[in-house]
Amino acid sequence: MKRTLSSFIALAWLLGGALAMATEPMLGDLRFERKTTGDEDFPPAIFSHWKHRVKFKCYVCHNKTMGFEMKLGSAAITMSLIDQGKYCGACHNGTPGLAFGVSFDYCARCHKK
């Protein structure tokens, strides 16, 4: 019983830490400021480098096909280009099992205040 309780507490601690890391900005996160005029209250997109690096090697995104160079600000990413399947939209296209799609239902997953 004591071992089960200790295991449960350890698991809860790990999950709590993982959830905190998922919402807090982390070293390596990239902030994409909007360069267009319009809805000034709409927050910038935050790209979690850590979440992506857990699953993928650097070259998955940093290649000529995806278009991401190894320099912040080198890609002029827009929602229009993402909708066309470029940059983030190459994976975030709603394909089941790959990544969530780009729609108004998921804005807050990237655009965080």
Domains of the chain, first to last? 27-110 (3.90.10.10)
The reported pLDDT for the residue numbered 77 is 87
The reported pLDDT for the residue numbered 3 is 64
The reported pLDDT for the residue numbered 18 is 46
Q: What is the pLDDT along the chain (113 residues), one digit of tens a residue?
A: 666 655 555 554 444 444 444 455 677 888 887 766 565 677 889 999 888 999 999 999 898 888 888 887 788 888 899 999 999 999 999 888 889 998 888 888 998 87
The reported pLDDT for the residue numbered 22 is 47
The reported pLDDT for the residue numbered 70 is 85
Q: Locate 27 and state its tokens.
A: 């070293």
The reported pLDDT for the residue numbered 24 is 57
- Listed residue (42, 19, 21, 20) closest to 32, CA to CA: 42
Q: Locate 45 and state its tokens.
A: 């997109």
